[in-house]
Structure 1
Amino acid sequence: MGARRGAEVLGRRALNRATLARQLLLRRADLDALAAVGHLAGLQAQEPQEPHVGLWSRLTGFRPAELDGLLESRRVVRTQLMRRTLHLVTAEDCLRLRPVHQAMLVARATGTLGRRLPGVDLAELAAAAEPLFAAEPRTLPDVGRALAGRWPGTAARDLGDVLSSLLPLVQTTPRGLWRRQAPARNTTVRAWLGRDLAEGPHDDVLDDLVLRYLRVYGPAATADLRAWSGLSGLPAAVARLRPGLRSFRDERGRELLDVPDAPLPDPGEPAPVRFLPAFDNAVLGYDDRSRIVADEHRGLSVTGARLVLVDGTVAATWTAREREDGGVAVSVQPLRPLSLAERGEVGAEAADLAAFLGDGAPGTVEGI
């Protein structure tokens, strides 16, 4: 889709500041965790502890017990959604969004696993597995092993893997609770939430999904929207919404769409240092990620590296380890030379992060 002539051009720094503001990274928000998860339309959660760091970087006064309470009360769940990856979403979003992602989830699962499932009737597999998950939370391999006898020669792990997309499942607590290790047990959405998925037609859900994406990631191209959601069937939603949207273009000439009331901060506004968890939305939410990570470092975004934003863009990675005394050491690995002032800002934020990760115990900072 080409850009409209005369559309305002937004440079990379303007797009960066817009992303930071909407992702709650330009300044921490005075929101509760439930509101933040809803605002962000979910957080990446394939690494179960990472959403806690994502919320700490975005919210004032966030404490892990708040998110734990939401998970245990089932107001927030971990389920497979955008791009066939696990996301932490509100229960309401789980019920509304899973149906519009279902076809994509199955297509991606069978595209990856189809050759390893010869002769497996997917409808029969789903029908046999659903009551097992509904009866009690189980791991995917456990259910795969329970059903493997029906399809000799098929690996139980492959049966379990495809079931994660065939069936609307949620990962149950205690997995995902703060500093807890637990197997990835799954049950059905119906068993966990006591409610059924939203029924179609889903045009209103798709329209709302596009608007929510633009509010949190925009201005953005349709290719960015597709990369974030994994959905290819959104042109109709964009066409329905277009009369009410703003249009810009980026320095490459791509058309960028936006909702009319979302913030566009001054490109010169200072951006604080922020420590991002693995697979953070702010990085993975785009096809063109250059607004936040340089092309030479783009690969880090899909390896699980934890990233540090300095002046709004990725300038370092970070790791953490628990010390023998129970405190946490945060180690920073710069990707470019940092100025004295930048090192001071990174060190201060790293010390705060170390204290957070250590539940208040004084931490240490290494590498800068």
Structure 2
Amino acid sequence: MADDVTPRVLNRTLLARQHLLERLPADDPRADPVALTAHLLGLQAQEPMPPYLSVAARADADPRHLSRALAERSVLRVLPMRGTIHTVTADDARLLRPLVQPFLDKVSRNSGASRPAAHVPLADLLAEGRALMSDGPVPVRALGAALAERFTDAPPSALVNRLREGAALVQVPPRGLWGRPGGVAYVTLESWLGEPDGAFDLGADPAAETEAQAEGLARVVRRYLAAFGPATPADVTTWSGITGVRAVFDALGDELVPLRTDDGRTVWDLAGAPLTDADVPAPVRFLGRYDNVWLSHAGRDRVTPPDARRRWMGSNGGVGSVVLVDGVMAGLWSTTAGGEVEVELFDRVSRAQRSDLDAEAARVEALLAVPADEEAAA
């Protein structure tokens, strides 16, 4: 019989597994930005700043360390989960991209940004794109213009979108480096990692790919639960876009244990993984406009009360960077021209929480004042 688990326990357990209850000290190996990125299965990176804020909320880490990992190709800016840019480790780029390809194919068919190029034969588009990037990264605008010279009946932006959904492309530095400006320029993941062309394409050996993908998805589910659990197959699909996850949960058998929520649903966890007590305090944390801690469950309510989420969403989503108070989204923050942090809270907080907000705001101000990463840019 499944044990009961309350929403508060689910909240605190998620925060603990995300390292948002206790910030990792700098000398902890788990605080290394590559190790932390791997544990979290990637950092939301639709904008350059959120990955650095995600790391800083969880670990005492110099932002230039993550920046140098980008420059050294230990972590990469790619398009995996949910069709959004993430910073992931090189190993996870290899693992995740084939698994999410069916979802990205669906995006290409249905997205207004890609559909105007849907009639272009994908094999021809991939071949042309790879040829254009064969000598190195190409800025996104130049890439679109060159593709449009070949495929004259499709808009440049739609061609680029379909290309990046059909082939694994990397947004190369200086894009994403700490304190360094940089527009989007693409090169193939194979080229960036020194792999042969087409190494991440599907279709060469369907039987071998099916087996490898099943094994890969089982590894991903275990790691997802370690960072985001307890959870359901639908949660994994919300996080990744990958379907058919229920069969993986079933195949894991005794590796997983069921838990029953207050509303009668069943969630699963890794056998032996500890749950966090509901009474454990949750400190104030400042995060970026996007962070997978509130984007990776089907209900998306582990840390986001509905009213708070609506205020964060605005009309188009992600209107501001997020403040967590007592483990939930409680406000937004921004910076002034002078580099000071301003906070807009959704409700009143206690005097102790106000003191914590001030301390965390000062911490973010100090982070944002760290000089640009000249070493990575060299």
Same fold, judged at TM 0.5 (above)? yes
Measure, in 2, the Cα distance between the counterparts of 1:40 and 1:20.
12
Counterpart residue number, 1:320:
335
Matched AA of 1:78 = R
In the TM superposition, what is the alpha-carbon distance from 1:36 to its structure 2 partner? 0.5
Contact 1:21 1:263 in 2 (8 A): no
- Which consecutive unaligned segments of at least 5 residues does structure 1 have? 1-5, 361-368
Counterpart residue number, 1:363:
none
Out of 334, 345, 357, the residue aligned to residue 334 of structure 1 is 345
Out of 294, 305, 327, the residue aligned to residue 283 of structure 1 is 294
Counterpart residue number, 1:165:
165
Q: Percent identity?
A: 37
In the TM superposition, what is the alpha-carbon distance from 1:243 to its structure 2 partner? 2.5
Counterpart residue number, 1:103:
102
Do residues 303 (structure 1) and 318 (structure 2) align? yes
Matched AA of 1:330 = V
Q: Counterpart of 2:187 in 1: which secondary structure?
A: strand
Contact 2:12 2:276 in 1 (8 A): yes
Counterpart residue number, 2:204:
none
Counterpart residue number, 1:353:
364
Do residues 11 (structure 1) and 6 (structure 2) align? yes
- The number of residues matched between the two structures is 350
Contact 1:37 1:88 in 2 (8 A): yes
Contact 1:12 1:290 in 2 (8 A): no
212-221 vs 193-202, greater mean Cα deviation: 193-202
Do residues 46 (structure 1) and 41 (structure 2) align? no
Contact 1:170 1:188 in 2 (8 A): yes
Gap change, CA 1:177 and 1:259, over 3 Å in 2:
same
Q: Counterpart of 1:57 in 2: which secondary structure?
A: helix
In the TM superposition, what is the alpha-carbon distance from 1:59 to its structure 2 partner? 0.7
RMSD (Å) for aligned C-alpha atoms: 1.7
Counterpart residue number, 2:218:
207
Q: Counterpart of 1:27 in 2: which secondary structure?
A: coil
Counterpart residue number, 2:185:
185
Contact 1:34 1:90 in 2 (8 A): yes
1:135-154 deviations in Å (ceiling 9; x for gaps) = 22113332221121333342
Length-normalised TM-score, structure 1: 0.91
Counterpart residue number, 1:225:
236
Counterpart residue number, 1:131:
131
The runs of at least 4 consecutive aligned structure 1 residues that moved more than 4 Å come to: 196-199
144-153 vs 172-181, greater mean Cα deviation: 144-153
Matched AA of 1:216 = A
107-116 vs 203-212, greater mean Cα deviation: 107-116
In the TM superposition, what is the alpha-carbon distance from 1:73 to its structure 2 partner? 0.8
Do residues 26 (structure 1) and 21 (structure 2) align? yes
Matched AA of 1:321 = T
Length-normalised TM-score, structure 2: 0.89
Gap change, CA 1:14 and 1:118, over 3 Å in 2:
closer
Counterpart residue number, 2:69:
70
Contact 1:308 1:315 in 2 (8 A): yes
Matched AA of 1:161 = N
Gap change, CA 1:275 and 1:105, over 3 Å in 2:
same
Q: Counterpart of 1:187 in 2: which secondary structure?
A: strand
Counterpart residue number, 2:111:
112
Q: Counterpart of 1:262 in 2: which secondary structure?
A: coil
Measure, in 2, the Cα distance between the counterparts of 1:295 and 1:15.
16
Taking the TM superposition and a 5 Å limit, the aligned residue runs for 1:260-279 are 260-279=271-290
